[in-house]
């Protein structure tokens, strides 16, 4: 057995293992370690710079830590009125307050603001979260947007070219005008990175107000018929295939390319 003071080259960082086991988030796990509440193989550790394997015995506050779960991913239909944070300084209800009680500790992949709704991906794995949030992943996020106003196709030309708003550069968006009904219009907007209130700010810049915003897909994962507040887990095989992972949930050397689906 390798002494904790000499971290083995294999295994995972202990904070990651504690987070995967549902003890705490990775950041909270690091605080547990630095406060002397975690022991590995009978020795209290004070630094999270330690790799552990399945053969190591880990205790938190003297209690054994359960075996870590494999990476998992859920689709969640976020309703309007919930914030996508673990805790809210204003005391508002969060997505995590509203999840079913039998859900394990999860993190959101990206965010949807208070007044937005639709597909939110949830995972128990920090590596998957970081992987799917990276702009380099290139996954398209698609939204159905209701707008106050009567735009035509030329209205969206600046969005399609890319815009600078308040000094911030927005990448080109794919915008399709679906229909105009009275004082409102519906459009479909697709983008590959999600900045804070990006669609709302871009529409305001061309004289429109977003009064409903629904995310309908994130990469290959779709909202489908999921009702507000409902959660659906993605099967492990599908998760591995879509993310280009092997059976041990580590990236393969040649991830599969995902062809774009044609709009019907």
- Strand, coil or helix: 34: helix
Question: Is 246 among the residues known to form the active site?
Answer: no
- Strand, coil or helix: 156: helix
Residues with Cβ within 8 Å of residue 126, at least 6 apart in sequence: 16, 19, 26, 107
**Token pair for residue 94?**
């969060």
Rounded CA separation 148/184 (Å): 5
Q: Give the distance from CA 197 to its chain's centroid.
A: 16
E-state strands within 160-241: 163-165, 168-170, 174-181, 184-191, 209-218, 221-222, 231-233
Max distance between CA atoms of the chain, in angstroms, equals 72
Catalytic residue among 10, 61, 88, 113, which?
113
Q: Which residues are catalytic?
A: 113
């Amino acid at each position: 057995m390798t002494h904790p003071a000499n971290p083995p080259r294999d295994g995972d960082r202990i904070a990651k293992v504690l987070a995967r086991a549902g003890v705490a988030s990775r950041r909270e796990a690091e605080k547990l370690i630095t406060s002397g509440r975690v022991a590995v193989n009978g020795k209290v550790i004070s630094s999270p710079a330690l790799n552990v394997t399945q053969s190591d015995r880990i205790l938190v506050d003297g209690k054994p830590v359960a075996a870590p779960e494999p990476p998992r991913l859920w689709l969640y239909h976020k309703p309007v009125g919930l914030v996508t944070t673990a805790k809210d300084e204003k005391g508002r209800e969060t997505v995590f307050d509203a999840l079913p009680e039998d859900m394990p500790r999860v993190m959101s992949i990206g965010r949807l603001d208070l007044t937005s709704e639709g597909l939110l991906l949830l995972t128990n794995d920090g590596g998957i979260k970081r992987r799917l949030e990276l702009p380099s992943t290139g996954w398209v996020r698609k939204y159905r947007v209701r707008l106050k106003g009567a735009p035509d196709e030329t209205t969206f030309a600046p969005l399609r070219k890319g815009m600078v708003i308040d000094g911030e550069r927005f990448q080109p968006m794919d915008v399709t005008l679906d229909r105009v009904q009275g004082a409102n219009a519906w459009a479909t907007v697709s983008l590959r990175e999600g900045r804070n209130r990006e669609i709302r700010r871009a529409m305001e810049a061309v004289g429109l107000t977003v009064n409903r915003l629904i995310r309908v897909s994130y990469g290959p994962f779709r909202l489908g018929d999921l009702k507000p507040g409902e959660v659906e887990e993605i099967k492990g095989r599908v998760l591995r295939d879509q993310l280009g992972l092997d059976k041990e949930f580590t990236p393969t050397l040649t991830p599969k390319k995902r062809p774009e689906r044609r709009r019907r």
